Structure 1
Amino acid sequence: MKLLTVPNRVYSLLLGLPFLRKVLLTSVFIMGMILWSSCNKKIVSPSNSNANTHSKTAQEKPYLILISLDGFRWDYVEKYQPPNLSAFIKEGVKAESLIPSFPTKTFPNHYTIATGLYPDKHGIIGNIFYDYKKDTLFNKRSPGMAEDGSFYGGSPIWVEASKANIVTASYFFVGTEAAIQGIRPTYYYTFDIGVKNDEKVDQAIHWLNLNEKNRPHLITLYFGDMDKVGHDYGTNDDDKLKTALFNLDKNLGDLFKGVSETGLPVNMMIVSDHGMGNQSTNKIIPIDSIENDDLFMTIENGTIVNIHPKKDVEIDTVLQYLRTKENNFKAYKTENT
């Protein structure tokens, strides 16, 4: 994809995400949300990163900052006109469209962005899911789960960078807390929902001002503001949405300014994992109305429910039971859908 040069040697690349039909992000993004467990603000510089200092070749490469704006709906910029994001788009490049991976949840899509693989290939198939090989229920909020690298398949961008002797850094991004293939970013933080956006921005600028050998050439950042306000108030509360967006826009403006002042050749990509839309509550299916702990395990992921038959329970037995509970839904075997 072509990169456009803008003043003071900063580059911008915008990725669009369609929501529902229209696949055109007037600003950037792949849409999203991200929350996972842990609560330690302390920065970590792990010994299990392959790259704590750059190779000479790596030092000559440009820099990349990958920014995720969770749950950022495709039309927010056009609708509310936040000044810094609007200018960023105008001076850069945006994608016309993008189809997120299924399911459009935080963990699967962020890790798809990082690896280029679909969830069924990289193994993170939900925010909560059952791992048959490990006989374990993965839950992003369970202590230690998000940090367990054995759940993560594929090879995310920071792992590949580390293998190439490139220093990396992350202020929250799915997978960066885990030792994937034994590797974490050179600098990273364990997730803490209480961290303010200006702390993330200040740290990113600090990283870019390190000495040349220790300065990360890949930085990933995560901002969950728009996902939270979207879930809390829906997409029709203009006052709440605009307030959250303009606060976030100020933080991003500070980041853009700080990056520009470094004078470094920096590429910036703004992405996200999913959009946001209002849904009717008229046909909600209460999960407790179909649960049967004797026959199967039920895992609820919001709009998706995973049903796992218990050991020695036949699928046909589960199907027959579910068909007795049909109300606003139909039960089928996967092979027949």
Structure 2
Amino acid sequence: MRLAFALVLCALLYVECRHLGDKSKKGFNKLLLISFDGFRWDYDQDVDTPNFDQLVVDGVKAKYISPPMITMTSPSHFTTITGRWIEDHGVVHNMLFNSTTLLKITHKKTMKRSEWWDNGALPLWITAQNQGLKTASFYYPGGGVNYSGQAVNRALTESYGMPDDNETEWQQNIDKVMDWYTKEDFDFVTLYFGEPDNVGHNKGPETPERKKIIEMIDRILKYLRDAIVRNKLTDSLNVIITSDHGMTTIQKNKFHGVEEIVLSNYINFLKSVHFELLDYGGFAMIRPREGQKEILYNQLKDAHPNLTVYRKEDVPENFHIAKNSRIQDLILVGDLGYNLNSRAVIYVNKGDHGFHNDEMDMKMIFRAFGPDFKKGYLAEPFDSVNIYALMCKLMGVVPAPHNGSLAHTEGMLVDNFDDLHPVPTPVPPPVPTTAPGGHGERNQMSFLLLAVLMFIASCFT
């Protein structure tokens, strides 16, 4: 009898070992985070968008949300996935750079360079994996690299030359993500789309071309919701739809009769500047040559009525950028629509971002729906840094250190959320490994099996 009981206990513990740390088996729903790059908060207000309109009825809408101060793709996306301000996560620009060696690497080439992203702040993919969940990144910035040797379970990165506005490809991407959930039991997926950012840059935000791409995004939203139904995920998948920044029309001399900001009109680059990140929207950084910092600052601070210049030590605290070593000695911010040019006017974009995150044109969208979200709920504006805590709660993940708060988003959840998803007693995460099922998981399993063997031995003594 005692032997039979021991064998049953062995079988039960074996099953438990196979699912050790698998929170999705304990009652939490799956999560899909979608980002439409450059989707300004009001882009659905001057276009017929029946599917976005339906989300107001079927889910949650925030009036708008604010990106971090450096309103660029990589810094903002990484704030969302880490819940950390830019000065804490260290992704301070779209370009990988080294101001000592003068290295500069373009945006898409950074997507496989771990040294740009891996600065100590763990993205949610890794934190969730360390607690037993299975995660994936589909083109999302930062998803295709390693963090202290750990990789995202499944990561796809964009290649050069890929069109961002291929509706058929968008549908195929959604189908692939649905397969990840239904056929491979993924718990958390981030899905990135490169529009409407590209059309905003190339054509401008107030154009028929931009409106056309919003109509296309609205259609893909319907495709997504239909795919969720087809794959029987309606009752088990939460969806968050957001962006990284907005877009504004660029003030051009030719069209608007304005004085564009050309810094070579005010400073001598060869004599005074060691390194610069300029010609990239409304935000710029300069590392002066030795002994030139105050000279450059004084030359620039009143140079143009639409330019604001800060010494690094004087950057306002609420920018949340100054404490990071990658931030350079001088910070330059153009007024809304005023791009920063270094030696000449070479900027061809008709729309851009990178401007102060207080500007309404830099604000972005937030929509959410699924079994854990209320219906017809209108949320007040909040900062994007708070999305991280919400995602952790939705998946039952114990968050890593972060700068956000649930106070801004918890009201979106159904009133009985905590009753539906009781949080288990926190268990220390497994020892980090470079792949799922590594040493940390094996150590916990070994401990349980040892306990079983000791129990069996006692049955015969």
**What TM-score comes out, normalization by structure 2 length?**
0.55
In terms of Rg, which structure is larger? Answer: 2
The offset of 1:333, in angstroms, is 3.6
**Contact 2:55 / 2:61 at 8 angstroms: preserved in 1?**
no
Cα gap change, 1:336 to 1:179, in 2 (>3 Å) = closer
**Contact 1:114 / 1:157 at 8 angstroms: preserved in 2?**
yes
User: What RMSD in Å do the two structures reach over aligned CA positions?
Assistant: 2.6
Cα gap change, 1:117 to 1:81, in 2 (>3 Å) = same
Cα gap change, 1:96 to 1:245, in 2 (>3 Å) = closer
**What TM-score comes out, normalization by structure 1 length?**
0.73
User: After the TM superposition, which residues 108-127 of structure 1 pair with which residues of structure 2 at under 5 Å, given as runs?
Assistant: 108-127=75-94
Q: Does 1:205 align with 2:178?
A: yes
CA distance in 2, matches of 1:103, 1:197: 28
Cα gap change, 1:291 to 1:303, in 2 (>3 Å) = farther
AA partner of residue 125 (structure 1): V
User: After the TM superposition, which residues 299-318 of structure 1 pair with which residues of structure 2 at under 5 Å, given as runs?
Assistant: 299-300=277-278, 301-310=280-289, 312-318=290-296
The offset of 1:172, in angstroms, is 0.8
Match of 1:232 in 2: 202
The offset of 1:327, in angstroms, is 4.5
**Contact 1:291 / 1:298 at 8 angstroms: preserved in 2?**
no
Q: Secondary structure at the match of 1:255?
A: helix
**Contact 1:319 / 1:333 at 8 angstroms: preserved in 2?**
yes
AA partner of residue 150 (structure 1): E
User: What's the CA shift string for 1:80-99, capped at 9, x where partnerless?
Assistant: 13122222232001223422
User: After the TM superposition, which residues 1-337 of structure 1 pair with which residues of structure 2 at under 5 Å, given as runs?
Assistant: 55-60=21-26, 61-128=28-95, 130-131=97-98, 137=103, 139-141=105-107, 143=109, 145-152=110-117, 153=119, 154-192=121-159, 193-194=162-163, 196-210=169-183, 214-237=184-207, 239-264=208-233, 265-281=236-252, 282-289=258-265, 290=267, 292-296=269-273, 297-300=275-278, 301-310=280-289, 312-319=290-297, 322=300, 326-328=303-305, 329=307, 333-335=311-313
Cα gap change, 1:319 to 1:187, in 2 (>3 Å) = same
CA distance in 2, matches of 1:76, 1:316: 42
The offset of 1:189, in angstroms, is 0.8
Q: How many residues align?
A: 277
**Contact 2:37 / 2:243 at 8 angstroms: preserved in 1?**
yes
CA distance in 2, matches of 1:215, 1:205: 10
CA distance in 2, matches of 1:330, 1:272: 26
Q: Which runs of 5+ in 1 are unaligned?
A: 1-52
AA partner of residue 260 (structure 1): V
CA distance in 2, matches of 1:54, 1:188: 24
AA partner of residue 143 (structure 2): T
- The runs of at least 4 aligned residues of structure 1 exceeding 6 Å deviation read none
AA partner of residue 297 (structure 2): L
Q: Secondary structure at the match of 2:277?
A: strand
Match of 1:10 in 2: none
**Contact 2:72 / 2:245 at 8 angstroms: preserved in 1?**
yes
Amino-acid identity (%): 25
Relative to total residues, which structure has the larger helix share, 1 or 2?
Answer: 2
